[in-house]
Amino acid sequence: MEPPTGPPSGPYDYDLLVIGGGSGGLAVAKEAAGLRKKVLIIDLADSSPRGTRRELGGSRLDLDSVRKLLQQTSLLGKAIEDCQNYGWGLKVPGHGWGELMEAVQELVNSHSLELKRELKRCGVFYLGARGEIVAPHTVEATDVNGMKRRLTAETLIIATGDRPQFLGIPGDRQCCLTSEDLLSLPHPPGRTLVVGGSAEGLECAGFLCGLGMQVTVLLQPDLLSGFDQRMAQKIENHMAVSGVDFLYHYLLTKVEQTEAFSEDVISGDSETRSQQISRGRLRVTIISKEGQSKQEDFDTVLLAVGRKPSTSDIGLECVGVQCSQGTGRILVNERDRTSVDHIYAIGSVQHGRPSSTGLSVHAGTLLARRLYRGDSVLCDYTNVPAAVLTPLEYAACGLSEEKANLTFGEANVEVYHSHYWPLEWELPARNKNSCYVKVICNISDHERVVGLHVMGSNAGDILQGFAAAMKCGLTKQQLDSTVGIHPGSAQVLCSLTQTQRMSEALMMRGNC
């Protein structure tokens, strides 16, 4: 719904103005409008350096939807291989990359259109422009044609989200793709170097490998930083067995094109479809920690080295909103308020907090209720569940084993664990020792469950209910007294008896 042009009915044009179209900002806006507040969202769907257009809802919302589809694409190929063991005489057909990418783009565009319709139904005004704070309570909006207008609001929300990060090396912006760009490639990426051991990088690597492509992961800087490292190593091992190559102790220093031609970008709108990208063989230069340099050729180089907040050009310094010098993300208090009383931040622009679409929506809804309904409920940023959609999925809630040991002391931490074999994998005799769970308990607090980790099919769905139980203070005794559903994978969590201490002791005896 286009914003009105007439004079305001009060001291400000709007009660609430949201800068950015991230999922948290959308949630604040819709909830506030439902509480009869006059709300405006200012968001410009800009493009990546390679020309990939971003849609309303933030890049993370698009990627969260698409990454599940990409995982499913990979899993379907494996499922067709298993069909013969179930009596179906099917063979894996060739995969149609172009058809998949067109379907993905249609989905992203339809999500964006539906979001705009939903905002209109809720009574939220929307302006496709870049927003910049130029004075207290005042935002200057600049549209795609350069036209400017100033708008005022009693309360401002920053929900500009984040963007894929580049390395600042020769050729990275010109030759490399990000996960956003991957979803608009008109051709299969071929032999691919994935730079970065982030969840985003491993998901892309697993998806491409599942489609039969040759994939190498350059672990720069770490493998699944922030996640449980034993679980991360198990994911790495499974991916390596599946055919993904890993490069250790190297840094990417240069990417250059050895041959090139142009090709159209796939996109849902005719304007972006006419854009072209360079395609050709890429030569990468990597250097080891010892200073040894080597070169190798790839068809595609995909950067997944983290994300940086979109906070540098929206006027925060003009009104004194404080950001972390290290991350560039906005400092907020427990009420999501910045250093300026009438300005709040939500979602991945916040410093020092976990970030996911579900969390941003939840936090945004609670913020609107505190602002306009008199509620006092704060968002709980602990025990936030997360999933890594690698072909063998990983889901986690609570502390990693490393963090638990630091928090409570290793002597006070008990880790129960087990491998398991999903029933549906038994007929095709697939990956018997791949699926794995572990439950981390604080011994000194009645074996309270402080971390729960699942690696296996549909791990995120398995974990969801246990995450709710952890919010209620789940203990190991309560977990043991829960009846497991048979047959089903989740029942393994209700019958854990082996601890890591016991396993390690057995291994030591075996070595003796």
Q: Are 42 and 162 in contact (CB under 8 A)?
A: no
Give Rg (Cα) of the chain.
Answer: 24
The yes-or-no answer on residue 486 being catalytic is yes
Cα separation, 123 vs 41, in Å, equals: 11
Q: 380 by DSSP, 3-state: which? A: coil
Q: Are 438 and 459 in contact (CB under 8 A)?
A: no
Cα separation, 180 vs 94, in Å, equals: 24
Encode 486-496: b = buried (16+ Cβ within 10 Å), e = exposed: eeebbebbeeb
Cα separation, 371 vs 378, in Å, equals: 12
- C-alpha torsion sign, points 29, 32, 33, 38: negative
Ramachandran region, residue 243 (left: φ > 0; alpha: ψ -120 to 50; beta: rest):
left
Which DSSP string corresponds to 423-457?
Answer: GGGTTTT--TTTEEEEEEEEGGGTTEEEEEEEEST
Cα separation, 254 vs 475, in Å, equals: 51
Cα separation, 220 vs 223, in Å, equals: 8
Cis peptide before 186 (omega within 30 of 0): no
Element housing 251 (H / E): strand 250-257
Q: Are 52 and 35 in contact (CB under 8 A)?
A: no
Element housing 87 (H / E): none
Give strand pairing partners of 41.
Answer: 18, 126
Q: What is the DSSP letter of 83?
A: G
Cα separation, 334 vs 457, in Å, equals: 36
Catalytic site residue from 187, 342, 351, 486: 486
Cα separation, 20 vs 162, in Å, equals: 10
Query: Which residues are tagged catalytic?
Result: 486
